[in-house]
Amino acid sequence: MSAQTPQPEPLVGGPNDPEHDPSASYALEPDYAAALTRRIVSSSGESALSISPVNGQPLAHVPQSSEDDVIEAFDRARKAQAAWARTSLDQRAEVLLRLHDIVLDREQEICDLAVWESGKARKDAYLEVYHVALTARYYARTIHQHLDTQRRPGVVPGATRIDVNRVPKGVVGIISPWNYPFTMALCDGLPALAAGNAVVTKPDSRTMLTALLGAQLLEEAGFPKDLWTVVAGPGSRVGTSLINKADYVCFTGSTTTGKKVAAGCAERLIGCSLELGGKNPILILRDAAIEKAAEGAVRATYSNAGQLCVSTERLLVADQVYDKFVQRFVARTKAMVLGPGHEWTTDMGSLISQDQLDTVTAHVEDAVAKGAKVLTGGRARPDLGPYFYEPTILEGVTPDMTCFGNETFGPVISIYRFHDENEAIAKANEGTYGLNAAIFSQDGRRARAIAREIKCGTVNINEAYGATFASIDAPMGGMRESGMGRRQGAEGIHRYTEAQSVGTQRVWGFRPPKGVSNEIFAKTLTVSARVMKKLGRA
């Protein structure tokens, strides 16, 4: 299917329907969903029902993969990878740039499906489209920079030549989450493909359709058939089988599951990259621009209903601006438009499931029962849909409350006062996580100095998370129990390669020339080392 072929709309009554009525209900086209699920490698005869969190409506019966299906997927991927690894870097870049255009051309379709399947607001779904396009373009434009063979200094100038090659790992296994079902399904795999690998992916069962649409667009862009294969099923079966077959594993999800993935990879002595949980802080310094900080804190906290790995759950505010900031933050939070996310005017959509709603509810109820104060929110909204919960601000949260150190992963933030910046840094570094942080200050130099003391893989200044996450040349990942490895930038593509050093020795090897004793040869090397140091050589 070419990029120019007209595509079916996934939604009946959606924003792109000529007869669209904002007050009417939406429905997913059954044939559209069925066409996507046929891309799953499955012969088990089993299926699982996919349900929309927007209104509880069934979306599709998703075929499930068996262990034999996982083996087949890897067999097909290995055959495709062998041919793909021989393609030129320029050919790979061309396909990535075609994907860039197709993703932007199909923006509305992708947003429709992501909203319908994950329950998020449309503006959050669009950021997935934009991020995938950025990722495809970045690796297309920098592919030679990252993957060309590089010359390195040899031990004997003029006599030793060193070339460093970047050799693809083979077949990469990717286990992607539900919270950003389009970008998380694709963005980690694009550099793997650019590096000459194939991919076998297991998207989360709750958002399979959006991930399958991504797989379809990859093929439309020109990536060979079977270079990107999709399996579906419970992690205990399919996820474990994937880890047992892959040459490298990329996982995004909870810290608990990430530790199990790391253990499985360690058993096989293969590499992995893990982007895990967080209890991310924002620091509002005494010189922060209050309105800008309040707006940024709202986005940091409530984007995707707080179901974002880099979203904020702890807000640390300087004494000098505490009262004024809290007033504006509460006012902006109260003004948010909560509801089904198909319209651009919605600020926050639904949680993903009953389990997620139960976690959010339990965290808030526990905090209130132990003395925390709800400044706004604090209620489920079944009148809007089965899993809606109001954006919530808590004050007076203490260490004995569940939400103090445990990740809520919902639209709930705890606000704390601090007296000096050393105290704020110490509070920001409490706990075992270290994924993302934000600092609001009008003194950029001071804020950047404070950032170096915060134990997080990314720190944003005067921005919630977008400054780092959208800058694809910047590595993104966690410290401590928030993960290992990095996506994006050079680190994001080099993780999928083996560095191979090729040394060519001219004139003589590392042995004494004929007629020279080992002792004299050793003395010659010592003199050579001293000369090299004086010449400034590494």
Q: pLDDT tens-digit profile of 340-377?
A: 988 999 999 999 999 999 999 999 999 999 999 999 99
Residue 229 clears pLDDT 60, i.e. is over it: yes
Q: Which of 380, 381, 372 is nearest to 414 (CA)?
A: 372
The reported pLDDT for the residue numbered 24 is 42
Q: What is the pLDDT of residue 19?
A: 52
| DSSP string across 299-365 | HHHHGGGG-STT-EEEEEEEGGGHHHHHHHHHHHHHT--BS-TTSTT-SB---S-HHHHHHHHHHHH
Question: Rounded to whole angstroms, how far apart are CA atoms 451 and 354?
Answer: 37
* pLDDT of residue 175 exceeding 60: yes
Q: How high does pLDDT run on average in the chain? A: 93
Assess contact for 109 and 342: CB atoms under 8 A.
no
Find tokens 């892959």 and name the residue: 246
What pLDDT is recorded for position 156? 84
Kindly give the pairing relationship between strand 27-28 and strand 11-12: antiparallel
Residue 6 has pLDDT above 80, yes or no: no
- 146-149 CB contacts, 8 Å cutoff, 24+ apart: 146/194, 146/195, 146/490, 146/493, 146/494, 147/89, 147/194, 147/195, 147/493, 147/497, 148/89
Confidence category of residue 23, pLDDT binned at 50, 70, 90: very low
Distance of CA 47 to the CA centre of its chain: 27
pLDDT score, position 17: 53
Give the Cα separation of 384 and 399 in Å (integer).
33
Give the tens place of pLDDT for each residue, 287-327: 999 999 999 999 999 999 999 999 999 999 999 999 999 99
Per-residue pLDDT at 119 exceeds 70:
yes
CA–CA distance, 475 with 469 (Å, rounded to integer): 8
Biggest alpha carbon–alpha carbon distance for the chain: 94
Cα–Cα–Cα angle for 393, 398, 404, rounded to 5 degrees: 65
What is each CA distance from 361 to 120, 377, 449, in whole angstroms?
A: 19, 11, 38
Q: What is the mean pLDDT of residues 110-139?
A: 96
Four-point Cα dihedral 112, 116, 119, 120, nearest 10: -10
- Asked whether residue 105 carries a pLDDT value surpassing 70, the answer given is yes
In the predicted structure, residue 8 carries a pLDDT above the cut 60: no
- Look at residue 538 in the predicted model and tell me its pLDDT: 85
Domain ranges of the chain: 11-276, 280-475
Q: Can you give the pTM of this predicted structure? A: 0.92
Contacts of 59 (CB under 8 A, 6+ apart): 28, 33, 50, 51, 52, 116, 117, 209
pLDDT for position 311: 94
- The answer to whether 274 touches 262, Cβ cutoff 8 Å, is yes
Q: Which residue has the higher pLDDT, 139 or 18?
A: 139
Fold of 11-276: Aldehyde Dehydrogenase; Chain A, domain 1 (3.40.605)
Length of the chain measured in residues: 538
Poorest-pLDDT segment among 157-161, 265-269, 333-337, 472-476: 157-161
Cα dihedral 115/120/121/125 (nearest 10) = -60
Q: How far is CA 410 from the centre of its chain?
A: 17
Give the model's pLDDT for residue 26: 55
What pLDDT shows up at residue 9? 56
57 versus 1: the higher-pLDDT residue is 57
The catalytic site residues sit at 275, 309
**What confidence score (pLDDT) does residue 509 get?**
77
pLDDT reading at 111 higher than 80: yes
Examine the pLDDT at 446 and tell me if it is beyond 90: yes
pLDDT at residue 90 is higher than 50: yes
Residue 531 to residue 516: CA distance in whole angstroms: 21
Read off the pLDDT of residues 235-259 as tens digits, 9 standing for 90 and up.
989 999 999 999 999 999 999 999 9
> Do 186 and 218 form a contact (C-beta atoms < 8 A)?
yes
- Statement: 280-475 belongs to CATH 3.30.70.1060: no
Q: How far apart are CA 178 and CA 204, in angstroms?
A: 5
pLDDT at 268: 97
Query: What confidence score (pLDDT) does residue 143 get?
Result: 98
Amino acid in position 256: T
405-416 in b/e burial notation, b at 16+ Cβ within 10 A? eebbbbbbbbbb
pLDDT for 12 beyond 80 = no
DSSP result, 211-278: HHHHHHHHHHHTPPTTSEEE--S-IIIIIHHHHHH-SEEEEES-HHHHHHHHHHHHHHT-EEEEE---
